[in-house]
Amino acid sequence: MDHQGHGLALDHAIFKTPHAVTFPVTVTPREKQYAEGKSVLYPDGMGETFGLVQFEHDKPADDWNPTLVNHEGFFTDVPGFENLAEGHSGKCIGSLSLARQGRWFYWGYSTDPQRLTDPAKDTLVNVLHYMRGKRDSQTVQFVCVTRQIFQVSLDLNKESGYLRGIEEHIPNQLTPEWQETYTDRTPQGYQQWLDKHLAYVFSGKGEQHKKKAQYKQVYEVDADAMALGTPNRERQSLERWMQLAMAGNGEDQQRAQRCLQRYVHPSIAPKDSDWRAWYEAQRERIVFIESTGFWWQEDPRVLELEQAVRNK
Amino acid sequence: MLRVVPAFVLATLATAGLVAQGPSPQPAALTVKGLPAAAPLQVAAMLHGLQLQVQVTLQDGWHLYGRDTGGGQPVQIEIASGSAFAAVGALEAPMDAKGHITGNATLALPLQRVPAGAGLRATMKFMVCDALQCLPPMALELALPAAREKAPSVLLVAIDESERTTRIAAFLAERGFRTDVTTYAKVQQAECDAHDVVLADSPTFGQCRGVMGDVKRFPATASPIVAVGFLGTELLENQKVAMACGYI
């Protein structure tokens, strides 16, 4: 299966230049693993059928696992991330076989011309041409998966009745004080916990969020942001924190100052606490990214453009 | 490091006029596709510096429209996404008072380079008319392949110098890339930085034993990297690129 692809972003340059690529498409009834869920390339979910294309000839009988596909969703919040094709995964919708982030391109198929179909060969050539122009692209470093992981446990339960995520994996990925708030470990209880807390979870800030047992990261709920009613990834919240930090008083001001320190990346935070001047300068340059550690930081697309201007 | 650019490939490319001209002041001809054989005009297109010039030669009595006069569809040229250029102004078209383009005329579209993209592809749409009729709308595809620009250099990083590696290198050379080959055990940052693109290859999962240590030592580089298959995911994870850390 992994030698095939679907959901191709055919408008992208890698399918158009210098070679106009045309893949023969086999219209295929939607498979069971694709019945649920959405992905960037299938924002409304998959329809009753999908178009399957061959990147490689059928795999040899004496070989297996010809390619791997990446699983998207936990890192694709990076601005400029390009989802370009899904692999024919037996697991679920949303497994990427062609993707780009910054200077890195993932090619989830063979590069052996004996294995590749003619359209795939042309696509590979196009990819190399395309990537030549990405030397100034800004690659974002991964720190933690996004809060989407909380939703996955709920989705898996709805699809298959899977409970281990809700009963075991989620609580084990919370800091101890927030584990205590998660007492009703049923699907209904979990949904209620999410409704109250999901907008305020964060991770990636220090040792307390690093790997614990088999879990890659640990999440915390931001009591400050929750008390202020400011979901931590929204721009309105950032603006509210700045207002409170500069003109508020008492506990709200302290909460806002802690939020700013927690979410505005130190590399761009103002040295003089003049948030008004800082925001005037940075408003169009910054973006909130969870997979880098829940930061307001410079938008990698802006950095790329600025570098291109400097190179002229 | 093994330089793989077979002489016959270079000879073939040179003969075909595909080796490196670049976006220099020297004009480069675009291919023009889609013009019906019986059409009462000829069309040629050139990239001249930062200007796309389209020369039309109309038979007597026939004209194009340079602007919307309520008659036939005026000439439009759209630059395709993915090109190395974008339009930065309106199409300049010599026309008479009635908006007609006749005889020999050169249309000019000002361009600018864009950071991403390669080559130049455009669509030219128009209707050609005489005093009595207009022919059905036409759409021509204009293209300057990226291969006419300087061929990118590729550093192919493989697990070994097997026949498979040789096949891949030969394929890249045949497709116009200046290709060098090294292995995960030998690769150095300087040689990665010196190439336009690094192609970090991977055979199938079962054939990757014994190279994981080398993959972990893969140098940080300023060059763009195409990470392939299983070893590609290992590279992405080792270098903490937010692309391959999402397994559950």
For residue range A45-60, what is the model confidence (pLDDT) as tens digits?
A: 999 999 999 999 876 6
Asked if the model's pLDDT at residue B6 lies above 50, the reply is no
| CB contact (8 A) between residue A308 and residue B115 | yes
A177 and A49 together in one domain: no
Asked if the model's pLDDT at residue A200 lies above 80, the reply is yes
- CATH superfamily, domain B21-147, is Thiol:disulfide interchange protein DsbD, N-terminal domain (2.60.40.1250)
The ipTM estimated for the assembled molecules is 0.88
From the list B167, B225, B248, which residue is nearest A103 (CB)?
B225
- At residue A301, φ and ψ (nearest 5 deg) are -70, -35
Asked if the model's pLDDT at residue A76 lies above 80, the reply is no
Give the bridge partners for A137, in sequence order.
Answer: none
Question: How far off is chain A from B62, nearest CA to CA, in Å?
Answer: 33
- What is the pLDDT confidence band of residue A128, given thresholds at 50, 70 and 90? very high
Predicted pLDDT of residue B117: 67
Domain spans, chain B: 2-13+151-238, 21-147
Asked if the model's pLDDT at residue B11 lies above 60, the reply is no
Lowest mean pLDDT: which of A207-216, A274-283, B209-218?
A: A207-216
Asked if the model's pLDDT at residue A89 lies above 90, the reply is no
End-to-end Cα spacing for chain B:
39
Predicted pLDDT of residue A84: 95
Higher per-residue pLDDT: B86 or B8 = B86
For the segment A278-291, what is each residue's pLDDT rounded down to a tens digit?
Answer: 999 999 999 999 99
Asked if the model's pLDDT at residue B34 lies above 80, the reply is yes
- What is the pLDDT confidence band of residue B66, given thresholds at 50, 70 and 90? very high
- What is the pLDDT confidence band of residue A312, given thresholds at 50, 70 and 90? low
Number of domains making up chain A: 2
Domain termination site, one of A79, A98, A132? A132
Average pLDDT over residues B154-181: 93
Per the omega criterion (within 30 degrees of 0), is the bond before A18 cis?
A: yes
- At residue B170, φ and ψ (nearest 5 deg) are -65, -40
Lowest mean pLDDT: which of A109-118, A297-306, B92-101, B143-152?
A: B143-152
Predicted pLDDT of residue A149: 87
For the segment A212-256, what is each residue's pLDDT rounded down to a tens digit?
Answer: 878 888 999 999 999 999 999 999 999 999 999 998 789 999 999
Domain of A222 in residue numbering reads as 148-303
Predicted pLDDT of residue A226: 98
Higher per-residue pLDDT: A93 or A173 = A173
From the list A128, A142, A145, which residue is nearest B240 (CB)?
A142
Best mutation target, A106, A145, A210, A291, to test chain B (most B CBs within 10 A): A106
From the list A68, A136, A149, which residue is nearest B115 (CB)?
A136
User: What does each C-alpha distance from B97 to A129, B94, B100, B102 come to in angstroms?
Assistant: 45, 10, 7, 12
Chain A residues lying within 8 Å of B236, measured CB to CB: 70, 104, 106
DSSP secondary structure letter of residue A212: B
d(CA A73, CA A147): 10
Lowest mean pLDDT: which of A63-77, B40-54, B55-69, B161-175?
A: A63-77
Question: How far off is chain A from B147, nearest CA to CA, in Å?
Answer: 7
A275 and A239 together in one domain: yes
A80 and A191 together in one domain: no
Count how many pairs of residues, chain A against chain B, have C-beta atoms within 8 Å.
181
Asked if the model's pLDDT at residue B67 lies above 70, the reply is yes
Predicted pLDDT of residue A244: 96
Closest by CA position to A295, among listed A134, A135, A79, A137: A79
At which residue do the structure tokens 């640990």 appear? A218
Predicted pLDDT of residue B247: 46
B138-154 in b/e burial notation, b at 16+ Cβ within 10 A?
bebbbbbbbbbbbbbbb
Asked if the model's pLDDT at residue B25 lies above 90, the reply is no
Domain termination site, one of A132, A166, A199? A132
Q: Which residues have CB under 8 Å from A65's CB, separation 6+? A: A2, B204, B205, B206, B230
Question: How far off is chain A from B18, nearest CA to CA, in Å?
Answer: 12
Q: Which CATH fold topology does B2-13+151-238 show? A: Rossmann fold (3.40.50)
From the list B81, B152, B206, which residue is nearest A128 (CB)?
B152
Q: How many CB atoms lie within 10 A of CB B132?
A: 6
A168 and A120 together in one domain: no
| CB contact (8 A) between residue A64 and residue B175 | no
The chain A residue lying nearest B176, using CA atoms, is A125
Average pLDDT over residues B49-78: 91
Higher per-residue pLDDT: B248 or B236 = B236
Chain A residues lying within 8 Å of B115, measured CB to CB: 133, 136, 304-305, 308
The answer to whether residue A142 sits within a structural domain is: no
Predicted pLDDT of residue A71: 64
pLDDT above 70 as % of chain A: 95
A195 and A267 together in one domain: yes
A120 and A196 together in one domain: no
Predicted pLDDT of residue B170: 95
pLDDT above 90 as % of chain A: 63
Average per-residue pLDDT in chain A? 90
Question: How far off is chain B from A305, nearest CA to CA, in Å?
Answer: 8
A120 and A200 together in one domain: no
Lowest mean pLDDT: which of A26-35, A43-52, A139-148, B114-123?
A: B114-123
| CB contact (8 A) between residue A133 and residue B247 | no
A128 and A207 together in one domain: no
Length of chain B: 248
A22 and A103 together in one domain: yes
Chain B residues lying within 8 Å of A130, measured CB to CB: 82, 116-118
Q: Could you give the angle at the alpha carbon of A37 between the alpha carbons of A35 and A40, nearest 5°?
A: 120
